Amino acid sequence: MKTTMFTRATVADAAQLLRNGELVAFPTETVYGLGADATNVTAVKKVYAAKGRPSDNPLIVTVADIDTVRRFADVTPVAERLMRKYWPGPLTIILNIIPGALDAAVTGGLPTAAFRCPDNAATRELIKLSGNPIVGPSANLSGKPSPTTAQHVLHDMDGRIAGILDDGPARVGVESTILDLSGDTPAILRPGYVDESMLAADLQTVNTDQHHVGANETPKAPGMKYKHYAPDAQVVIVDHQVDFPAAIKWAQADPRAFGVLATDQVLATVPAGVETYSLGTDLASATRDLFAGLRYFDLHPDISLVLAQGFDPEGLGAAYMNRINKSAGGEHFPVTAP
């Protein structure tokens, strides 16, 4: 099919495609999502097909306002307080749903669903004009780095989806925090911009231990079970800046061609002739540009090893390290020989 690019001026045309049961990628402050009418099971199943996504990986329901959530779920007082504080914004909340309100294609067959209201006016208008909430997984091929620009989406999805709403690059660069409020104890299932310290003001206890999802278990949230964010090259995380000279020496002795994904301070020490991608000057820019950097090396098929800078896993660093660890398959320098 032809994939049409839309802008804020043509958002009504993009909404019509959603009403027709087609797929339209949309911008958020975190990454670009892949939208389909969340109440149209046929359309939802197209999302799995377009992404090559496992069918037991639940989808986030993306809304334009809190009242829409009430159509599908039990909005507790705690949930409403957090929604009013952080929405629109990079916080996804898992709630118990009204029985039968959402199809198993959206929930993975679970009695819960994840809801989010993005901080992007064009997307909220798209949802309002479409008349229903939309599912919103990242608009990339399953397992690949998430897209932070419309061009990233087009690279993965050209010919697979009907349209892309382009509203410029994402500001945050990693997916939203996922907070599970469906049980007795609130739990962060995926770290993001809204971190534990920010949530502490409204929640007495927050569980941050990442649950390992078994092979026969359906995950409550995206990113908990399957490999994510991986470029074709093997990523190796260098946890400390002082270790980069040794890591580069190790990579130079490896037969594979390598590149470096790091901040400008680190890149200033990289020998000439090595392919590099700048993550800017600090953790915030590194988080924003991480997925773009991983995609950059995918465009260089000759490079099969990437040394990537690590950060302390605190605050926003927890979100950065969660993504880069999954991209690397947990591989850190020094690498232990098999």
Q: What is the pLDDT of residues 3-38, one digit of tens each?
A: 999 999 999 999 999 999 999 999 999 999 999 999
- Is 285 annotated to bind a ligand? Reply is no
- For the segment 48-56, the average pLDDT, to the nearest whole number, is 84
Domain spans in the chain, listed from the N-terminal domain onward = 4-199, 234-328
- For the segment 62-72, the average pLDDT, to the nearest whole number, is 98
106: nearest Cα among 45, 189, 18? 45
- Is 112 annotated to bind a ligand? Reply is yes
- Is 146 annotated to bind a ligand? Reply is yes
219: nearest Cα among 333, 71, 54, 70? 54
Task: Provide the sign of the torsion angle of the four alpha carbons 103, 108, 109, 112, taken in this order.
Answer: negative
37: nearest Cα among 52, 20, 54, 49? 20
Q: How confident is the model at residue 223 (pLDDT cuts 50, 70, 90)?
A: low
Q: Which CATH superfamily is domain 4-199 in?
A: DHBP synthase (3.90.870.10)
- For the segment 311-327, the average pLDDT, to the nearest whole number, is 96
Tell whether the model's pLDDT for residue 211 goes beyond 60: no
- For the segment 271-300, the average pLDDT, to the nearest whole number, is 97
- Is 322 annotated to bind a ligand? Reply is no
The pLDDT, as a whole number, for residue 139 is: 97
- Is 130 annotated to bind a ligand? Reply is no
Q: How confident is the model at residue 226 (pLDDT cuts 50, 70, 90)?
A: low
Residue whose entry in the numeric block shows the structure tokens 């540009």? 289
> CA 322, 325, 326: angle at the middle one, nearest 5?
85
Tell whether the model's pLDDT for residue 162 goes beyond 80: yes
The pLDDT, as a whole number, for residue 182 is: 96
- Is 218 annotated to bind a ligand? Reply is no
- Is 190 annotated to bind a ligand? Reply is yes
The pLDDT, as a whole number, for residue 197 is: 93
Class for the domain spanning 234-328? alpha beta
Tell whether the model's pLDDT for residue 291 goes beyond 90: yes
In angstroms, the Cα distances linking 180 to 187, 219, 315 are 5, 12, 18
The pLDDT, as a whole number, for residue 54 is: 73
Tell whether the model's pLDDT for residue 199 goes beyond 80: yes
The pLDDT, as a whole number, for residue 228 is: 66
Tell whether the model's pLDDT for residue 174 goes beyond 70: yes
- For the segment 120-139, the average pLDDT, to the nearest whole number, is 97
Q: How confident is the model at residue 133 (pLDDT cuts 50, 70, 90)?
A: very high
Tell whether the model's pLDDT for residue 76 goes beyond 80: yes
Query: How many C-beta atoms surround the C-beta of residue 249 within 10 A?
Result: 10
Tell whether the model's pLDDT for residue 270 goes beyond 70: yes
The pLDDT, as a whole number, for residue 121 is: 98
- Is 288 annotated to bind a ligand? Reply is no
Structure pTM? 0.93
The pLDDT, as a whole number, for residue 336 is: 74
The pLDDT, as a whole number, for residue 305 is: 98
- For the segment 198-208, the average pLDDT, to the nearest whole number, is 90
- For the segment 320-336, the average pLDDT, to the nearest whole number, is 93
The pLDDT, as a whole number, for residue 227 is: 56
As a whole number, the mean pLDDT across the chain is: 93
Per-residue model confidence as pLDDT tens digits over 229-256: 778 999 999 999 999 999 999 999 999 9
